[in-house]
Amino acid sequence: QVQLVESGGGVVQAGGSLRLSCAASGRFVSSYAMGWFRQAPGKEREFVAAVSWSGGNAHYSDPVKGRFTISRDNAKNTVYLQMNSLKPEDAAVYYCAADHGGSGTENSYEYQYWGQGTQVTVSS
């Protein structure tokens, strides 16, 4: 069993930055690929970024590529999402997810564990 707790959400002006954190606990969490997803009101949950268990491979959705950076610190069992140049359309609840044995997929159904989410609001 893996537990995930997100933090770092808040209100920021367009063009600003936020760093989200996802603290993981449980056995062998460092062996899980990790992903970030988001869901805005009235929209489906969408992939944002994912990173392999080693941190060596990361990929991003097109809307955030070049602005967001995913990273992980396995010594701290924590995954980060650095979000720069935020836009109003980035506003959503952001979820952290863990995928055992995967390399970090864009498909939400492949993730076994999810956090409760953290709200990001971007004012224009």
pLDDT, residue 103, reads 82
Q: What is the mean pLDDT of residues 92-112?
A: 93
Q: Is 13 exposed, middle or buried (0-12, 13-18, 19+ CB in 10 A)?
A: exposed
Q: What is the mean pLDDT of residues 21-34?
A: 92
pLDDT, residue 111, reads 96
pLDDT, residue 80, reads 98
35-67 burial string, b = 16+ CB within 10 Å, else e?
Answer: bbbbeeeeeebebbbbbbbebeebbbbeebeee
Per-residue pLDDT reduced to its tens digit, 46-67 = 999 999 988 889 999 999 999 9
